[in-house]
Each structure stands twice: as structure tokens, then as C-alpha cells.
């Protein structure tokens, strides 16, 4: 997916602060719960308009927060809308293609690295070239992209740090019951949809967990955990979103 298209989508959701309330609460709650003691460094990949991040709350939990994206304007304006343009805890690094892993020697390692809605965007590079005649090829390409994305997070994590990947499982386009349902109903609704093959290619929670488990087998990660899904209302479309967290072992 082109940078221009991503930027156009970011402009469409610029004013999504109110709509994102529930989603922002869940992402912020998860990142706050996973914050180290004493307060350390958080890196957020795919920060965009920052509508899914309560930056004031996160600044209570982390000493320093790095916001990464390739849409500089979205991040700068997102921080300004939250009134934090002068906050010295925030650092913006938003002219970067995050489809590539960084050189770990060239960056400051973080205590928590969170990818927020970025993997689904990267996955479009796989699904847009999907050949219905060769489904195994698509499945293999999606698995490789997941592995690379987790490796990207690991490259930014110090030993012992935690990684979080939030990802969209399915939307109201194919599961209209998501619109207007209670948040408590989302796990069962989503599980039933997955059972009938109704989920985004490459983002089946079990496939996500499998990729993390394979990395755990090779001792690249430990303690993979899937967090129960919730709702993300984005105007006419509502998503079921989940998050996977894992640790980088202290020994690596
Ligand atoms: C679904 S949005 C995340 C929502 C965002 N945190 C918000 O609250 O508005 C995905 C973000 O990933 C960014 N993105 C997509 N592909 C990227 C890439 N290859 N490199 C850097 N950023 C990318 C987009 O610019 C967008 O801001």
C-alpha cells in the first residue's frame, strides 16, 4: 500500500478522537499495564493521528515515548490536538518506512515496543497480490510478514522488554453484528466469525499466536499472550481488534 494512500486514510480519520474512545482506552490500558518499574521507554509504531493513544496517561507510565510513522504531519498534529506539543517526554520520528527492520545498533532500545494497527496495513502488500489459484503462497507470504514484523519489534526491544502488536481481525463489512454490539459480546462474536472463515487474511489470532510460538521455540521471544478482542468504531466501519504481547528474553 502506497504512502500517499496511507496518508489520505489518516486525513479521513483525523477528527476521530471521540469515535476512538473505547479503542484508545483499551490500547492505553494495555500499554500502561505493561509499563516497567521504574518508568522506561515506549516506542509506538504506526502512531499516525495518535487517536488510539492517550498520550497524557502514557506519559504518567513511561519516562520517554517515541512516536513512529511515515506520516509526519499526522503525528505532529495528533500530538498538538492532545495539547502536548511542548512535552519533553515525546519524541517524533515520523518520516520512516516501518516495513523494514532498523539496525539495532543505530537506535535506542525500548522497554516496550507497540505496533498499533500497523501490521494490517503492511499485510495489504500480501493480500493485494493474492492469487486465488495459489492460496498456499498467500498463507506462506503472510506468515513470513508476521515473522518479519515480530523481528522488527524485537530489534527495537532491549533484553527483557515487552512487545505488543494490535491487529484488526474482522470488520462490520463482513460481520455487521459488530455495529452496536456490547464490548463483552465481541470475543464470542469474533470467535464465531473466525470459525466460518470470516477474518482478514494473515490476521487469524491463532496464526498470530503460532508465529510468536515459533519464535518462542527458537528462544527469540518468551511469554506470548493473546489479549481478548474489543471493538474499534471508525465511522461507518467497526472492527474487532485484538492484541498479542510477548517478551524478549533477558538472555538475548
Ligand atoms: C491504522 S493506522 C493506526 C492508527 C493510528 N495510531 C491513529 O490513532 O490514527 C496505521 C498507521 O500506520 C502507518 N503506516 C502504514 N504503513 C507504514 C509504513 N510502511 N511505514 C510507516 N508507517 C506506516 C500509517 O501512516 C498509519 O498512521
Quick check: 124 pLDDT over 90?
A: yes
- Residues 244, 34 contacting (CB under 8 angstroms): no
Determine if ligand 1 sits within 6 Å of the CB of residue 121: yes
Give the orientation angle of helix 3-12 with respect to helix 72-81, to 10 degrees: 20
Mean pLDDT, the chain, whole residue set: 95
> Does position 252 have pLDDT exceeding 70, yes or no?
no
Q: Which phi and psi (to 5°) does residue 239 adopt? A: -110, 150
pLDDT at 132 over 90: no
Mean pLDDT of 143-151: 97
Topology at the third CATH level for domain 3-247: Rossmann fold (3.40.50)
Residue 80 has pLDDT above 90, yes or no: yes
Q: Where are the domains of the chain?
A: 3-247
* pLDDT score for 134: 73
Distance (Å) from CA 133 to ligand 1 centroid:
30
**Residue nearest to ligand 1 atom 26, measured at CA:** 48
**DSSP tag of 129:** T
Which pLDDT belongs to residue 97?
95
Q: What is the pLDDT averaged over residues 77-103? A: 96
Provide mean pLDDT across the span 182-195.
97
Ligand 1: residue of 54, 76, 96, 118 to mutate (most ligand atoms within 8 A of CB) is 118
Report the run of H or E that residue 9 belongs to, with start and end. helix 3-12
What predicted TM-score, i.e. pTM, was given to this entire model? Answer: 0.97
Query: Which residue's CA lies nearest to atom 27 of ligand 1?
Result: 48
CA distance 164 to 48: 17
Q: What is the mean pLDDT of residues 98-107?
A: 91
Across 125-134, 143-152, 222-231, least confident range: 125-134
10 C-beta closer than 6 A to ligand 1: yes
Q: With 80 as the cut, is the pLDDT of residue 245 above it?
A: yes
Amino acid at each position: 500500500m502506497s504512502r500517499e494512500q496511507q496518508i489520505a486514510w489518516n486525513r479521513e480519520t483525523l477528527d476521530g478522537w471521540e469515535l476512538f474512545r473505547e479503542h484508545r482506552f483499551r490500547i492505553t490500558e494495555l500499554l500502561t499495564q505493561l509499563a516497567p518499574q521504574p518508568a522506561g521507554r515506549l516506542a509506538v509504531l504506526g502512531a499516525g493521528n495518535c487517536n488510539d493513544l492517550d498520550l497524557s496517561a502514557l506519559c504518567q507510565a513511561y519516562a520517554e515515548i517515541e512516536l513512529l510513522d511515515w506520516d509526519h504531519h499526522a503525528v505532529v498534529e495528533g500530538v498538538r490536538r492532545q495539547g502536548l506539543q511542548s512535552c519533553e517526554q515525546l519524541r517524533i520520528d515520523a518520516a520512516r518506512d516501518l516495513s523494514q527492520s532498523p539496525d539495532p545498533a543505530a537506535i535506542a532500545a525500548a522497554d516496550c515496543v507497540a505496533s498499533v494497527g500497523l501490521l494490517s496495513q503492511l499485510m495489504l502488500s500480501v493480500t493485494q497480490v493474492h492469487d486465488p489459484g495459489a492460496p498456499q503462497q498467500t498463507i506462506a507470504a503472510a506468515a513470513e510478514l508476521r515473522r518479519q514484523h515480530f523481528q522488527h519489534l524485537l530489534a527495537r526491544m532491549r533484553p527483557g522488554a515487552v512487545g505488543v502488536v494490535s491487529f484488526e481481525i474482522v470488520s462490520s463489512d463482513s460481520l455487521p453484528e459488530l455495529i452496536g454490539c456490547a464490548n463483552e459480546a465481541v470475543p464470542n462474536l469474533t470467535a464465531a466469525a473466525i470459525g466460518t472463515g470470516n477474518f482478514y487474511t494473515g490476521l487469524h489470532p491463532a496464526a498470530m499466536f503460532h508465529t510468536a510460538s515459533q519464535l518462542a521455540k527458537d528462544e527469540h521471544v518468551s511469554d506470548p499472550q493473546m489479549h481478548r478482542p474489543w471493538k474499534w468504531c471508525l465511522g461507518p466501519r467497526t472492527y474487532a481488534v485484538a492484541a498479542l504481547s510477548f517478551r524478549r528474553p533477558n538472555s538475548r
